[in-house]
Amino acid sequence: MEQEGRHERFKRIASKRTNDILEKIRILGNCANKSSYEYTEEEVNKIFNEIEKQLKFTKTKFLAGKRERFKL
């Protein structure tokens, strides 16, 4: 049995997790149905502000290794 490399493992796991997140976002969109739910603009902004905050935080984890180190 061929051993999976780190890059192949990353692609497999990242693809699955990304698809899971996209599906959850799609499902969250179902809450926009005004005939089934009642919500305020403030509540919607709070939801999306938190999602955006977490996206930025997670992206910085991926980019952190690419920053140049300070040199004199």
pLDDT tens-digit series, residues 6-62 = 999 999 999 999 999 999 999 999 999 999 999 999 999 999 999 999 999 999 999
Rounded Cα–Cα distance for residues 28 and 51 (Å): 11
User: Is residue 1 a part of any domain in this protein?
Assistant: no
- Domain housing 25: 6-65
User: Is residue 42 a part of any domain in this protein?
Assistant: yes
User: Is residue 28 a part of any domain in this protein?
Assistant: yes
The tally of domains found in the chain comes to: 1
User: Is residue 70 a part of any domain in this protein?
Assistant: no
The predicted structure's pLDDT at residue 1:
57
User: Is residue 71 a part of any domain in this protein?
Assistant: no
28: Cβ–Cβ under 8 A, 6 or more apart, which residues?
Answer: 47
